[in-house]
Amino acid sequence: MNSSVIIFPGSNCDRDMDVALKKFGFKNKMVWHNDTELPKSDLVVLPGGFSYGDYLRCGSMASKSKIIESVIKFANSGGLLMGICNGFQILTETELLPGALLRNKYSEFICKNVFIKINSTENSYFKNIKKNILELHIAHNEGNFFCSSDQMKNINDNNQIAVSYCNRDGEVNDDSNPNGAIKNIAGIFNKQKNILGMMPHPERMIDTYLSGDDGSVFFENLITNLR
């Protein structure tokens, strides 16, 4: 399986993603933001970080970079496109995904483990996944998902909520919402479910000596689904 990770100026989870993808069997290539062509890929990843310093609005400058045109083309033709953290923010800025990611509710950067509940398994990302609740890590300042009520209606109608913050037992409630995201949304799909944006970082949880290894569950499942 071939994957590509896009590097924007200010990306800082690009290497972590590269390590994770390779560990679970992807042949991964790093792609520079100024390139125009994507290598042949079964999966394209927009990694976390602070592209362009997040100075204008998180993800907004990156959404205008050269490579994005090919990324959009790739996704529109059905290719799997995943954005993690800053990558998720870039996906909403390109409008490949609906909504926006606002400042966390308490205006503080949050770095901790959270639980997320998988809402839909009818897609290439979570099909046949052996756990329904994953413990993953978040590290962000702007992860508070927000959208208009019209957008929310579409999201619901098309079953686009991918993962929601929950507690250890899978209950989705206010106490388990780390950043104020509407309906505890931690990640969403596009309508066709080939594009996934989510705030938690599966690439930081790929062995037991790190904060946990539910990221391994995610990646193992993903590559199996793609094979």
Partner 1 sequence: MEVNESLALEHGLNKTEYKKICDLLNRTPNITELGIFSAMWNEHCSYKSSRLHLKNLPTKGKKVIQGPGENAGVVDIGDDDAIVFKIESHNHPSFIEPYQGAATGVGGIMRDVFTMGARPIANLNSIHFGSPQHKKTKNLLRGVVRGIGGYGNCIGVPTIGGQTCFDESYNGNILVNAMTLGLVKKNKIFYSKAAGINKPVIYVGSKTGRDGIHGASMASAIFDEKIEEKKPTVQVGDPFTEKLLLEACLELMSGESIIAIQDMGAAGLTSSSIEMASKGKLGIKLNLNKVPCRESNMTPYEIMLSESQERMLIVLENGKEKEAKKIFDKWNLDFSIIGETTETKKIELFYDEEKVADIPVDTLVENSPMYDRKWKKSKLVKKNKVNKNTFKNLKILNVLNKLLSNPNICSKEWIWRQYDHTVMGDTIQKPGGDAGIVRVHGTNKAVAATVDASASYCYAHPLTGGKQVVCESWRNLISVGAEPIAITNCLNFGNPEKEENMGEFVECVQGIGEASKYLNFPVVSGNVSFYNQTKEKGIKPTPSIGGIGLLKNYKDMITMDFKKVDNIVLVIGKTEGHLDQSVFSRDILNIKNGPPPEVNLFNEKNNGEMILNLIKKKFVKSVHDISLGGIIVGIAKMCIKGRKGFRIKKPKQLINEFQYLFAEDQGRYIVEIEKENYKQVMEMLQKNSVHYDELGVVLDKDIFIDDKTKVSIDDLMDSNNNWLKSFMGS
Q: What does the binding site for partner 1 look like in residue numbers (CB under 8 A)?
A: 9-10, 12-13, 15-16, 19-20, 48-50, 52-55, 106, 108-112, 137, 139, 141, 201, 203-204, 206, 209-211
For partner 1, give the closer residue by CB, 193 or 204.
204
Cβ atoms 165, 181 nearer than 8 A: yes
Q: In the complex, what is the shortest distance from the CB of residue 194 to partner 1, in angstroms, rounded to a whole number?
A: 26
Whole-angstrom distance, CA of residue 222 vs CA of residue 227:
9
> CB 19: neighbour CB atoms within 10 A?
12
For partner 1, give the closer residue by CB, 3 or 160.
3
Cβ atoms 167, 113 nearer than 8 A: no
C-alpha closest to that of 81 among 119, 123, 50: 123
Whole-angstrom distance, CA of residue 84 vs CA of residue 200:
7
CA separation, residue 76 to residues 48, 121, 192, 195 (Å): 22, 21, 9, 9
Could you tell me the two tokens for 69? 């045109």
Q: In the complex, what is the shortest distance from the CB of residue 71 to partner 1, in angstroms, rounded to a whole number?
A: 20
Q: In the complex, what is the shortest distance from the CB of residue 170 to partner 1, in angstroms, rounded to a whole number?
A: 21
Q: In the complex, what is the shortest distance from the CB of residue 123 to partner 1, in angstroms, rounded to a whole number?
A: 26
Does residue 85 carry a catalytic annotation? yes
Distance of CA 31 to the CA centre of its chain: 18
Q: In the complex, what is the shortest distance from the CB of residue 35 to partner 1, in angstroms, rounded to a whole number?
A: 12
Tokens 């098309």 belong to which residue?
158
Contact residues for 148 (Cβ-Cβ < 8 A; gap 6+) = none
For partner 1, give the closer residue by CB, 10 or 170.
10
Cβ-in-10-Å burial (0-12, 13-18, 19+) of 53 comes to exposed
For partner 1, give the closer residue by CB, 16 or 93.
16
Residue 25, sorted as left (phi over 0), alpha (psi -120 to 50) or beta, turns out to be: left
For partner 1, give the closer residue by CB, 99 or 178.
178
Catalytic residue among 85, 140, 147, 166: 85
Q: What residues are annotated to the active site?
A: 85, 201, 203
